[in-house]
Amino acid sequence: MPPTISHDPISATFAKHICYIYNTISAISAIYLTMDDVTHSDMLCEAARRHLFVTDLDGTLLDNEGRVPPMTARVISDLSHMGALITVATARTPATVDRILAHTFTRLPLIVMTGAALWDRPHRCYADPRSIAPDLAGEAYRLCLSAGLSPFVYNLTDDGMLHVHHVGDISPLEQRFIRDRSQLLLKQFHFHSEMAPTSSFDATMLLLAMGPVEDVMKLGETMRLSIGLTVQAYPDNYDPRQGVLEVFAQGVSKAAAVRAMAERTGAEWVTVFGDNLNDLPMMEVADEAVAVANAMPEVIERADTVIGPNSEESVARYILESLGLVDCNDRH
């Protein structure tokens, strides 16, 4: 059954205030990170300022605990202050990305929800959100149910709040997913015992389902052949026995978002970092596709360069190397 979440208005209001204070303090601390550890230069050349770096989060930039390690946070913050073009492209929503990057300064908008939107950190708002047509969202929902998976339905309202709806019982995997994302300022979960009405698919940004990886991959293939939407299916970063299915509006992808970001910034060279199947589209459109050593075999096979694992802060080290700020023979 769905987890019990307090709906007491006083508790909810108090929790929101605490979240707001935390996010505000974290944002201020990120902005005022110092630049003492940049060893070779306090300025970037023009070519470096035209080099766009886009990195996935889970399994790539983040460590095995799902956090940005201290050195990585300092490197990205310092380089961003110096004018470097660094951002992330993630399946996550701003509700969790904001928390994860609380101590990491970035200048550029973040590519969130696999490219369904950008997140403007200074103004704390979505940019260029892409929603699914209600009839297609309803069709995708029914296909998930027919495969025995009850998806989470993400609806974005005008106030910037993501309302996440779920019908029916909650699996242990979904319980963990919800627990890690509860009490967030930018996301609210809603649990229902019956099929949601058609109106629940207004402003739907994402349908997300999870379950045994074989079932998820099979459903993903079926949906790609039968529905005019973007469908991503891939193994979970933290438990490859489980799979994740994501359904977005047609044309939504990390690849499209990376191309748009390159145009937006005037970048002349694009390097992307990834580890999982949903990173392949953006790797294909990049000038340089970089896989971490822990990436899936398909990702490593199609990468131009393979670096160390996510557990060794390899992305940050490679960015420094690419910009000529460390000796290529001294990555550690």
Positive or negative, the CA dihedral 58, 59, 65, 71 is negative
pLDDT of residue 30: 42
Query: Which of 100, 89, 93 shows the shortest CA–CA distance to 152?
Result: 93
pLDDT of 198: 52
Domains of the chain: 33-129+253-322 (3.40.50.1000), 134-248 (3.30.1240.10)
Q: In the structure encoding, which two tokens stand for residue 156, read together?
A: 């974005």
Q: Walk along the chain (332 residues) in steps of 10 and give the mean pLDDT of each run.
A: 43 47 44 40 80 98 97 98 98 95 97 98 95 95 95 95 93 90 89 71 94 96 94 91 96 97 98 97 98 98 99 98 71 41
CA atoms of 13 and 20, how far apart (whole Å): 11
Per-residue confidence (pLDDT) for residue 222, from 0 to 100:
95
